[in-house]
Amino acid sequence: MSGGRKPVCCLTILLKYFKKRVRCRPSKRCNMKRRKNFNLTFFLIFALPTLIIFTLVIVVPFIYGLFMSFTNTNGMSGNSWVGFSNYAAVFHDSTFWNSFIVTIEYVVACVVLTNILAFIIAYLVTSGIKGQNFLRAAFFTPNLIGGIVLGLIWNFIFRQVLVNVGTAYSIPIFQETWLADPVKALWTLIIVTVWQMSGYMMIIYIAGFTGISQDVLEAAEIDGCTNFQKVTKIEMPLMVPSFIICLFLTLSRCFMVYDTNISLTKGEPFGSTVLISLNIYREAFNNNNYAKGQAEAFLLFIIIAALSVTQVYIGKKMEVEQ
Amino acid sequence: MKGEKVQSKTGKIVSTVIMWLLLIIFIMPFFIVIVDSFKSNAEIMENPLNLTGHPTMNNFVEAFVRMNYPSAFCNTFVITLLSVFLITIFSAMTAYFIVRSKSRVGTVIFYALVASMMLPFQAIMIPLVSIYGHIGLLSNRATLIFMYVGFGCGMAVFIFHGFIKTGIPVSLEEAAKIDGANMIQIFFKIILPLLKPVIATVVVLDVLWIWNDYLLPSLVLSQPWQLTMPLSTYSFAGQMSINFGPLIASLLLTMLPVLIIYIFLQRFIIEGIVAGSVKN
């Protein structure tokens, strides 16, 4: 998914840029110097191809999408302006709200569990046990494989393997497939997502752990720090940047999950696990309601943009000066 | 002092045990897939966890033929290869332009690309399908590659930009210029080779993304001969429902190429991921 790979700092950089611009403006020399350097051939050869593709693939659809959400288009016909009525329809749509609430539950559970698990694994892996590189590589493996295949594997496990184990050893919780129960089906999605993403986040936390200078830890030891204090009072504050990266990555990835959703639960049972992405897809392509689907998609965009802004803001406030 | 040392020793044993237990749970699904792919459906139904006494290759044969594996593999391979190649070249050039031209145009392009990284794919997928459907460019593998370049260049330019800005001295280019090299020669002969470490990062991130992507190809491709591996696996799984043997074999076949490459390049891949998500 294109969404999963976003570096956290894009917003920080945008902010820096605006500050710089404000600083630059009063001095005319600054602008003059910039203009002088502009070389048209350089631009045409090096930047234009990317610019054209980027415009055709992202900018134009984005603007057209904004326009679409204010019309009554169904993809083929109908392009009359209907104002905010699509957005109003979305707000009154119980299917959308259900899927929105399910998505929130899913995202909260995944983000919390993934980060806790990833942090613990990273801590254990870096604690100096044998086979560090092997463990790191093994825990990362699920990330190499797409959501479709992972979802199908786990679908088989929940549908067949666990039921089989449950009946063989009479473990009541596994005797019936989790996929048939609305609450447990959501948990299957959470389990698979946590299983997959904690390996990725572990890698980022490991980089955080290894980035902490050994001197600080030794100093703490001399001062009589216990292991637990060392983790909570020294390593965790120093790893705030890693936490921010991981939180942002897990949040935005979870909000956009689609592959695992269709291959693991297909939104079943009774539409109880239709996450927001799948809901948008169905609204647009199954119900042929492009305009309303697009309105929902823009709400998703606003959520993600708002999340990134808050997160960067909080992150900047919390960052410990190293 | 002495007491603490003993404690850390037991601590080490405990953490080693926890670690390996966790690992077993983590790896279990793959183990089940490998074990069951050699079993007949009846054996899987009976007990999905044990090893079979009579391994069979029938599942693989059926999956290989019915999911049209060679064609799916080639499609995925070519699409990934071309997309990643174009993303890398175009993005490196654009990033170089942005850093060296120091013009306002460059800055505007850079921030537009960075901002696009915040955009969820779902926010543009409907207009994308609508527009390209109207022009009649859907159901075409070239269109898919074109779109991947569009979606991938934001992050790639961002990564290249950071590296060129801090890691490549201007003096090198000035020296080349004095020696009579033009800007294209400077870029391809001097800059591009210096970018190797970042190219690795971009390639790893983009290959993993494009190879496994489902949603975008499912919207663009429609003919059976165009399908990529995630698509053909998914449609094959739909036909199999409870015929688990071939289904699991198809999953293993789909995972195999990536896993084989991972065994040889794991260090490199993980370093690429770290560089891609942390150094920014």
Contact B98, B157 (CB under 8 A): yes
ipTM: 0.86
What is the pLDDT, as a whole number, of residue A19? Answer: 56
What is the pLDDT, as a whole number, of residue A4? Answer: 40
B144 vs A6, A54, A57, A147, B21, CA distance in Å? 21, 14, 10, 19, 42
Higher-confidence residue: A73 or B168?
A: B168
Q: Across the interface, which of A9, A130, A284 has its CB nearest the CB of B126? A: A284
Residue A279 within any structural domain of the chain: yes
| Mean pLDDT, rounded, for A105-112 | 93
Q: How far is B139 from chain A (nearest CA, A)?
A: 16
Q: List the one residue out of B160, B130, B156, B154 whose CA is nearest residue B220.
A: B130
Q: Give the span between the Cα atoms of A261 and A278, in whole angstroms.
A: 7
Note whether A121 contacts B22, CB cutoff 8 Å.
yes
Residue A8 has pLDDT above 50, yes or no: no
Question: Mean pLDDT over all residues of chain A?
Answer: 81
What is the pLDDT, as a whole number, of residue A55? Answer: 93
Residue A190 has pLDDT above 70, yes or no: yes
Q: How far is B74 from chain A (nearest CA, A)?
A: 17
Query: What angle is formed at CA A75 by the lines to CA A3 and CA A78, rounded to 5 degrees?
Result: 135
Residue A25 has pLDDT above 80, yes or no: no
A178 vs A104, A167, A304, CA distance in Å? 20, 14, 30
Asked if A2 reaches chain B (Cβ–Cβ under 8 Å), the answer is: yes
Residue A181 has pLDDT above 50, yes or no: yes
Q: Give the span between the Cα atoms of B231 and A259, in whole angstroms.
A: 11
Lowest mean pLDDT among A19-28, B3-12, B158-167, B234-243: A19-28
Q: Does B68-240 carry CATH code 3.40.718.10?
A: no
Residue A6 within any structural domain of the chain: no
Asked if B272 reaches chain A (Cβ–Cβ under 8 Å), the answer is: no
Q: How far is A97 from chain B (nearest CA, A)?
A: 17
Q: Give the span between the Cα atoms of A177 and A258, in whole angstroms.
A: 22
Residue A49 within any structural domain of the chain: no
pLDDT more than 70, % of chain A: 85
| Mean pLDDT, rounded, for A52-66 | 91
| Per-residue pLDDT tens over the stretch B127-179 | 998 888 888 888 888 999 999 999 999 889 998 998 888 888 888 888 888 88
Asked if A158 reaches chain B (Cβ–Cβ under 8 Å), the answer is: no
| Per-residue pLDDT tens over the stretch B41-62 | 777 777 777 777 778 888 888 8
Asked if A304 reaches chain B (Cβ–Cβ under 8 Å), the answer is: yes
Q: Give the span between the Cα atoms of B250 and A309, in whole angstroms.
A: 42
What is the pLDDT, as a whole number, of residue A166? Answer: 83
Residue A200 within any structural domain of the chain: yes
Asked if B234 reaches chain A (Cβ–Cβ under 8 Å), the answer is: yes
Residue A44 within any structural domain of the chain: no
What is the pLDDT, as a whole number, of residue B3? Answer: 35
Chain B partners within 8 Å of A54 (Cβ):
112-113, 116, 150, 153-154
Residue A148 within any structural domain of the chain: yes
Note whether A137 contacts B262, CB cutoff 8 Å.
yes
Q: How far is A169 from chain B (nearest CA, A)?
A: 12
Residue A111 within any structural domain of the chain: yes
Residue B218 has pLDDT above 50, yes or no: yes
Reading the block at residue A299, the tokens are 């709400």
Question: Mean pLDDT over all residues of chain B?
Answer: 85
Query: Using CB atoms within 10 A of its CB, is residue B257 exposed (0-12), middle (13-18) or buried (19+)?
Result: middle
| Mean pLDDT, rounded, for B23-50 | 84
Residue A102 within any structural domain of the chain: yes
Q: How far is A198 from chain B (nearest CA, A)?
A: 10
For chain B, the residue count is: 280
Note whether B127 contacts A53, CB cutoff 8 Å.
no
A149 vs A262, B59, B250, CA distance in Å? 11, 17, 9
Q: Which domain range does residue A158 map to?
A: 93-318
What is the pLDDT, as a whole number, of residue B173? Answer: 85
Give the pTM: 0.84
| Confidence label for A134 from pLDDT (cuts 50, 70 and 90) | confident
Residue A75 has pLDDT above 70, yes or no: no
Query: Which among A76-80, A150-154, B34-38, B113-117 has the top mean pLDDT?
Result: A150-154
Amino acid letter, A62: F
Query: Using CB atoms within 10 A of its CB, is residue B116 exposed (0-12), middle (13-18) or buried (19+)?
Result: buried
> Which residues of chain B form CATH 1.10.3720.10?
68-240
Read off the CATH number of the domain in which A112 is found: 1.10.3720.10
Asked if B278 reaches chain A (Cβ–Cβ under 8 Å), the answer is: yes
Lowest mean pLDDT among A173-182, B95-104, B190-199: A173-182
| Mean pLDDT, rounded, for A66-73 | 82
| Per-residue pLDDT tens over the stretch B83-92 | 999 999 999 9
Query: Using CB atoms within 10 A of its CB, is residue A285 exposed (0-12), middle (13-18) or buried (19+)?
Result: middle
Q: Which residue of B has its CA nearest to A156?
A: B244
> Which A residues in the span 65-124 are in contact with B, Cβ-Cβ below 8 Å?
65, 68, 73, 75, 121, 124
pLDDT more than 90, % of chain A: 18
What is the pLDDT, as a whole number, of residue B139? Answer: 85
Number of structural domains, chain A? 1
What is the pLDDT, as a whole number, of residue A93? Answer: 84
Asked if A220 reaches chain B (Cβ–Cβ under 8 Å), the answer is: no
| Cβ-Cβ contacts under 8 Å for A206 (sequence gap 6 or more) | A122, A125, A126, A136
Asked if B158 reaches chain A (Cβ–Cβ under 8 Å), the answer is: yes
B113 vs A44, A59, A107, B7, CA distance in Å? 17, 10, 27, 52
